[in-house]
Structure 1
Amino acid sequence: MKFLLRLLILSIVMPVEAAGQEFVLKDSCPPSFELRDSGCYLVSRYQFYDSLQNRGVGGTQTGLPEYRDGFSPQQIDLGRYLFFDPILSRDGSLSCASCHQPDKGFSDGQARSIGIDGQVTRRGAPSLWNVAFLKRLFWDARADSLEEQALGPLFAPDEMANTPLQLMQAMESSEHYPALFAQAYPQTAEPLSLENLTHALAAFQSSLVSLNSRYDRYALGHHQALSEEEIAGMNVYRSFVARCAECHTPPLFTNQQVAVIGSPEPEGLPLDVGAEKTFNAAKLKGGFKVPSLRNIVRTAPYMHSGRFDSLREAVEFYTKGRGHAVPDGVQMQIHWHIWEPQLTEQEIDDIVTFLDALTDESLMPSIPGRLPSGLAAVHDNSNNKHNPPREHSDE
């Protein structure tokens, strides 16, 4: 009832011309995607590289792993609306973008994300850049598709707290969404379905590609793209002393594995066993997915529960000694790559300097100026309240 009342109030205060305006989904692909056979397919210079020809860890000419593309332009655009629309949450207060904010590397700037009614969740929101390439999702690797991942926050009681029944009732009763789903899924018997909703979210998220940083321009042959300081940092990063590239492997800057590194929890919080629960494997106690370092300077604080406020603190953690932060009495099988490199202060600074060169937001999607639900686009979660739409919208 509270949610329906909110919809009614917003529909009254909306400008008359906006309320009567129809929505038409885009028929063109996002930048860096080519339209072929009604689907959008990624075009990247990395596709010219064969991974098997560059076996060295940290090599600059390593190709891309398998990835998802081929979604239609309409499915991607529908997913974009859904991503920013708080109609997906129980009370219309949260959207996917509440915890995956574009200006924060599609994370949220929180040590641990804030869900409905101000509830603090157990972990921070991972970045969504390049999720089309990832084989498993969530910090504890418990989902193996973007569709499966979407179901978690939608129905988790401490996140968006919706139910399948209420969600689909809200979508079906909205003025525009039934027609938009029909545009995006014209060949299906039931276009507006939970299955197609999560598929559209997957389509949009698969378009969030970040492969054109200054590092990429350097790796693809333009060696003036990096400064001398950044090249020095890259050399430390790739060295057998620091061994950063063994887990954060180019070009995605993750090897997509689960690693037990012994990262400490925030003060007063119990140990998070991570992937041990996912795989029912004691050897993975305290294990988490190796995150990509793409756009890492945008996604502070760092680690699964935001233990480190700065990127320098996160880098410094790896040189303080193997297992130094594991609680007394806890047995962890620390990943064999984690050792004691004894990096100098300058080398730590150089790595941090290099990581800034992995920033690329050139394919940032536009935030809708208005939404099919009539609600305001939510792309922040400060105090768990709505932010007004951005002025530079495309609608």
Structure 2
Amino acid sequence: MSITPRIFPQRRILTVALAGLVLASVFLPLSGGRNLAYGANLPAIAAPKPAPLTHPLSAVAMIGRDMFSDTALSASGRLSCASCHDPRNHYGPDGTAPVVPGGAHLDRVGRRAVPTLSYKFLTPAFTIGPQDPSLEQNEASPELVAAQGQNADASAPASLGHLPSAPKKLAGQTTLGAPVPRGGLFWDGRADTLEDQAEGPFFTSFEMANTRPALAQVLRTRYGARLAALFGANVLSDEPMLISEAAFALARYQIEDPSFHAFSSKFDAYLSGHARLSPAEARGLALFNDPTKGNCAACHLDTTAKDGTPPLFTDFEYEALGVPRNSRIPANADPNWHDLGLCGPMRHDATSRQTSYCGLFKTPTLRNVATRHVFFHNGVYTSLQDVLDFYARRDSDPQAIYPVKSGKVQIFNDLPRRYHSNIDVTDAPFGRKRGDAPALSKTEQADIIAFLNTLTDGYHPYKN
């Protein structure tokens, strides 16, 4: 299938101009802060109270805001974007079920956990190409090194600098220059833009389950006058254009509303010099970056970009981790059914025929991860403790992770055996032998979780 984005000529200029305003409003407040070494705790700083936002949403984004919570846009009349992407939970699912009911009668369920819509506005389009070395290494700048030496907290270990991460090996590849899938939206990257992503659930049978004629009629009735005022009266008689403009409005809402990318976590305050990490948080950050321990930053990049963009905690690349099968997903009752990520079942393009990509799913952002209730593409885990335990014990103690049948551990039981070679078995914390000690102790796991809690938006340093 084609995933080429459809952006109509009359709104290209609008899109670029609005994007520039949004990026400026998000990042300028950080530019005056101090970019600190990731283990250096500064003396307490009197942080000014942030000024209130002064930029309103554009007219098209306000339409998208209204559509986002409008259940009339679903065939059931009971499902909206916000039903799965709850604004009260950082636009992630609010419940603990791995999949969400949908369909015309809310009697069908999905196959994957609902991803957050937060921090999606900088996601690049899906590509397959050489690895970018700048995304595989985390090297401290001279400024960071200096800050670390001058401002380190006495309670933090001396090794808390931003450690270089070893190059991450793509499953099935052994060299840094090997082709790597990167970018795109959804767990399998099949949509290139927020507009494409917004349009998809409208017609998916187990989500909003609409037909195009039915959706177009609802849009005419509920939003026709507002859309015609922006895009011309002809939009109402042009069904593809009407639906595309509705998706565009939803995309603009996600781009313009700062709540989708608030950059207001304790970690952001720490980067700007307005907060200090606790000893546990600082130890967790060190373990997060240590290529021999957590090694989390190899995929969940935590460095500020050269242009000042705060870290998004993802490299947008894909990995096969071998998480266990989730029996709570109804589709998994069929032992012959498997979710192969880039290989389908949701993708149907040339990528889906590349067997070395089977079992690979996109690395999600870790921002607001501590507020999630289900983890990984199949929602198999319901706590960060379970997630850390999986990383720490998958290889050394697999019987604690996978089911045992007839005395044999069913390792990597959610992926057909012919694709097991795609699973990462070399990069820390993986690669340990059975019977070895866990890659991370319980104390170390607790410290990493303490750090992950600093990535939750809504921290107010001036109140602490």
Q: 2:60 aligns with which of 53, 57, 75?
A: 75
Which amino acid is the alignment partner of residue 125 of structure 1?
V
SS state of the match for residue 173, structure 1? helix
Contact 1:265/1:272 (8 A) holds in 2: no
Q: 1:94 aligns with which of 68, 76, 79?
A: 79
Q: 2:109 aligns with which of 101, 110, 120?
A: 120
Contact 1:301/1:310 (8 A) holds in 2: yes
Displacement of 1:321 in angstroms is 3.5
- TM (norm. structure 2) is 0.61
SS state of the match for residue 191, structure 2? coil
Asked whether 1:85 is paired with 2:70, we answer yes
Displacement of 1:351 in angstroms is 0.5
Which amino acid is the alignment partner of residue 417 of structure 2?
G
Q: 2:212 aligns with which of 164, 179, 182?
A: 164
| RMSD (Å) for aligned C-alpha atoms | 3.1
Query: Within 5 Å, which residues of 2 pair with 1:32-51?
Result: 40-42=21-23, 43-45=25-27
Query: Within 5 Å, which residues of 2 pair with 1:255-266?
Result: 255-266=315-326
Which amino acid is the alignment partner of residue 218 of structure 2?
A
Displacement of 1:105 in angstroms is 2.6
Unaligned runs of 5+ in 2: 1-15, 41-54, 125-183, 303-310, 399-410, 433-437
Query: Within 5 Å, which residues of 2 pair with 1:120-139?
Result: 120-135=109-124, 136-139=184-187
Contact 1:71/1:203 (8 A) holds in 2: no
Which amino acid is the alignment partner of residue 354 of structure 1?
F
Could you tell me which residue of structure 2 aligns to residue 349 of structure 1? 446
Residues of 1 paired with 2:109 and 2:39: CA distance? 40
Q: 2:242 aligns with which of 170, 193, 202?
A: 193
Which amino acid is the alignment partner of residue 205 of structure 1?
Q
Residues of 1 paired with 2:209 and 2:446: CA distance? 42
Residues of 2 paired with 1:362 and 1:163: CA distance? 42
Q: Deviations over 1:307-329 (max 9, x none)?
A: 00111101211111449541273
Asked whether 1:276 is paired with 2:343, we answer yes
Aligned residues with identical type, % of pairs: 32
Displacement of 1:345 in angstroms is 0.9
Could you tell me which residue of structure 2 aligns to residue 210 of structure 1? 262
Displacement of 1:85 in angstroms is 0.3
Residues of 2 paired with 1:193 and 1:87: CA distance? 16
Displacement of 1:199 in angstroms is 0.3
Contact 1:294/1:358 (8 A) holds in 2: yes
Query: Within 5 Å, which residues of 2 pair with 1:199-348?
Result: 199-206=248-255, 207=257, 208-222=260-274, 224-241=275-292, 242-250=294-302, 251-267=311-327, 269=332, 270-277=337-344, 278=347, 279=351, 280-322=353-395, 324=398, 325-327=411-413, 329-332=417-420, 333-335=422-424, 336-337=426-427, 339=430, 340=432, 342-348=439-445
Contact 1:99/1:114 (8 A) holds in 2: no
Seen in structure 2, the aligned counterparts of structure 1 residues 156 and 37 have a Cα distance that, compared at 3 Å, is closer
Displacement of 1:225 in angstroms is 3.2
Displacement of 1:72 in angstroms is 6.3
Residues of 2 paired with 1:97 and 1:216: CA distance? 26
Contact 2:199/2:244 (8 A) holds in 1: no
Displacement of 1:214 in angstroms is 0.5
Which amino acid is the alignment partner of residue 253 of structure 1?
F
Contact 1:79/1:203 (8 A) holds in 2: yes
SS state of the match for residue 98, structure 2? coil
- TM (norm. structure 1) is 0.71
Residues of 1 paired with 2:386 and 2:62: CA distance? 38
Q: How many residues align?
A: 310
Seen in structure 2, the aligned counterparts of structure 1 residues 38 and 243 have a Cα distance that, compared at 3 Å, is closer
SS state of the match for residue 361, structure 2? strand
SS state of the match for residue 271, structure 1? coil
Contact 1:315/1:348 (8 A) holds in 2: yes
Q: Deviations over 1:89-143 (max 9, x none)?
A: 0131110111111122312233112213231110111001111011211111111
Q: 2:89 aligns with which of 90, 104, 113?
A: 104
Q: Which structure's CA Rg is the greater one? A: 2
Residues of 1 paired with 2:117 and 2:412: CA distance? 29
SS state of the match for residue 109, structure 2? coil
Which amino acid is the alignment partner of residue 248 of structure 2?
H
SS state of the match for residue 318, structure 1? helix
